[in-house]
Amino acid sequence: MCGIIGYVGKKNSVPYIIDGLKKLEYRGYDSAGISILQDGKLVTVRAVGKVAELEKAALLASPQGTTGIGHTRWATHGKPSEENSHPHTDCSGEIVVVHNGIIENYLVLRAKLISLGHKFKSETDTEVIAHLIEENLKHIRGNNEEERLVKAVQRTNKEIAGAFAYGVMWAHAPGLLIGVKNQSPLVIGLGKTESFLASDVPAFLQHTHKVVFLEEGEIALLRAGRVTVLDKTGAERTIKSVKISWDQKTAQKGGYPHFMLKEIYDQPQAIEDTLRTARADFGKILGLDTPALRGLQNVHITACGTAYHAGLVGKYYIEQFAGIPVSVDLASEYKYRTVPHKSKTLAIAISQSGETADTIGAVKKAKELGFRTLAICNVLGSTLTRLCDSTFFTHCGPEISVASTKAFTSQITAMYALAISLGLANGNVSKSSFDKLYRELMHLSKAMSEAVKMEYTVRHLTRKIYKADRFIFLGRHVHFPIALEGALKLKEVSYRSAEGFAAGEIKHGPISIIDKGTPVFMLMPQGPLFEKMLSACQECRARGAFVVAITTPDAEQQAKSVSDKVFLVPPVNEFLQPILMVVPLQFLAYWIAKRLGCDIDQPRNLAKSVTVE
């Protein structure tokens, strides 16, 4: 996700800002830019691609000034391009803004500002902030320009909706940098004669370890070596700084020892951010009008690895809620099998990176067959999103650990939102059922915050089983793909042998590999297939397996009677449940790999993005 850095001090801000942007590169980005206040004028330099490109451009322009802001952009509104790169300015070019997050009502605001005569230069939601501040300044009086700017920012914050953090500078208030935090990250660094604002601590850690964490809705006023914080009501609050003892690497991981662990904990936010897209009009996301949505007759899903498992869950959703037949293929298989041409087919490709060669190949084939194509993807501007007719973005932020975690749960969340919306459009789901399903979906992030509290319990168990030769995962229905995912995660990071099966299949072969002490993980929340899972537990136990039941609190007692250990996952509706059931399996993979001393974030032989066949 986007990275913000700001500096105000006594020295030339450019090296501080470029260096800060480099420290934020780990967040993922497609373009970068800086604005420096030089002799009362703003000098802006932007470049598509790496910070190194920006650095070259900045060397040529060689701006100099003691106040400046910089930004790395992870595109959300508008393609990656120089015009869409931050910083963005108002009409006069005297107000400059860098922003992270999403302004949900930007289209309405943009139209209003255009009607008032404002001229926009980019497609971004960010630019409305600069124009809105400009507009508000016209109507605000104050003792001086600094006071007017603060008031204009406060008024602007009342008008914009969404989760955002931004930094702003005005040529008429030199030496003042303003930071706003509302549900997106923004931290303040306190130096002796300088002050910093940034999306994350690593951006300025080299210069100061004294950090102020802002609360939601707060505004920070930064001057050289002096910071004031205004709370939600506009009152000044006493600031308390915290001394950060992290080194650079730990800081990038938010204090976690590995990106994988951080990303598991990112999941409540990732779901929340993904659902922000899902609140939009689905016809628009799919690029289809209502009659075309109603007329869809087939869905083909293609993906690889973890994303394929998300696709398997998606099949249950679309068939349940929209009543449309779905086929799910590994992208590498879809490409080379005969796919009969059928009209009114939507081909959905799921991919975190949007660069997986097999998935791209599958989409090319779907296009040749004349199917409409939809990407469920985490990277705007990626090859997949450019190839597909439309895209549903999973806004889960950059996933750095090779083993996918938050992208997976965001992809399933997106599939659920898509399925219920298709069902509403084609009449398979009534409006009242849709409203209920939708409400339940909107509570998912909260339930996920509970689910991630399971780490300690899982970690404790791994001490006992981490040396086992093989691990088995069993589930039925929507939990069958979760069993596959649990096994894949464990294999990837711990190099142990692990297999996932549909629980109903074990008698047809797999039960022969169960031996004394083999850990078997049963995905068995309370629900229509619970009794069947109880039988599967007994069958495995009779062969000496060490059975771990992963269930919901209402089934705890029954699960206990047939297992050696029970993990309790917060209950949600039966179709959302798999999104939470995978969490203990992610922790399991992590902790087994950790105890075995494996390279967790970069497992041997694996690449984050497989761009070759």
445 contributes a contact to ligand F6R by CB under 6 A: no
Q: Smallest Cα–Cα separation from 273: which of 440, 102, 391?
A: 102
Q: 98, 201, 261, 304: which one contacts ligand F6R (CB under 6 A)?
A: 304
Site string for ligand F6R, 459-498 (x = CB under 6 A): ---------------------------------x------
Report whether 53 contacts 80 (CB < 8 A): no
403 contributes a contact to ligand F6R by CB under 6 A: yes
Distances (CA, A) of 304 to 236, 419, 613: 52, 20, 11
Q: In what order do the strands lie in the sheet with 497-502?
A: 497-502, 470-475, 519-523, 546-551, 565-568
Nearer to ligand F6R, 277 or 351 (CB): 351
Nearer to ligand F6R, 352 or 421 (CB): 352
307 contributes a contact to ligand F6R by CB under 6 A: yes
Nearer to ligand F6R, 241 or 609 (CB): 609
Site string for ligand F6R, 337-376 (x = CB under 6 A): --------------xxx--x--x-----------------
Q: Which of residues 592-611 bind ligand F6R (CB under 6 A)?
A: 609-610
Q: How far is the CB of 270 from ligand F6R (least distance, A)?
A: 14
Site string for ligand F6R, 550-589 (x = CB under 6 A): ----------------------------------------
Question: Rounded to 5 degrees, what angle do the CA atoms 122, 125, 129 make?
Answer: 95
Q: How far is the CB of 363 from ligand F6R (least distance, A)?
A: 11
Q: How far is the CB of 262 from ligand F6R (least distance, A)?
A: 15
Nearer to ligand F6R, 573 or 602 (CB): 602
Asked if residue 291 has a cis previous peptide bond (ω within 30° of 0), the answer is no
| H or E element, residue 345 | strand 345-351
409 contributes a contact to ligand F6R by CB under 6 A: no
Chain residue at closest Cβ approach to ligand F6R: 305
For residues 37 and 175, give the distance between their C-alpha atoms in angstroms, rounded to a whole number: 9
156 contributes a contact to ligand F6R by CB under 6 A: no
Nearer to ligand F6R, 61 or 606 (CB): 606
Report whether 47 contacts 85 (CB < 8 A): yes
CA dihedral 470, 476, 477, 478 (to 10 degrees): -50
Q: How far is the CB of 447 from ligand F6R (least distance, A)?
A: 23
- Collapsing DSSP to helix, strand or coil, 547 comes out as strand
| H or E element, residue 301 | strand 298-303
Q: Which of residues 491-550 bind ligand F6R (CB under 6 A)?
A: 492
Q: At what angle do helices 267-278 and 444-451 cross, to 10 degrees?
A: 170
From 9-17, 286-294, 305-313, 592-600, give the range in contact with ligand F6R by CB under 6 A: 305-313
Nearer to ligand F6R, 306 or 551 (CB): 306
Q: How many residues does the chain have?
A: 613
Report whether 566 contacts 466 (CB < 8 A): no
Active site residues: 2, 608
383 contributes a contact to ligand F6R by CB under 6 A: no
For residues 498 and 584, give the distance between their C-alpha atoms in angstroms, rounded to a whole number: 15
Tokens 């940034």, located at residue:
198
306 contributes a contact to ligand F6R by CB under 6 A: yes
Nearer to ligand F6R, 179 or 311 (CB): 311
Q: Smallest Cα–Cα separation from 351: which of 402, 401, 299, 310?
A: 310
Residues near ligand F6R (CB under 6 A): 304-307, 351-353, 356, 359, 402-404, 492, 609-610
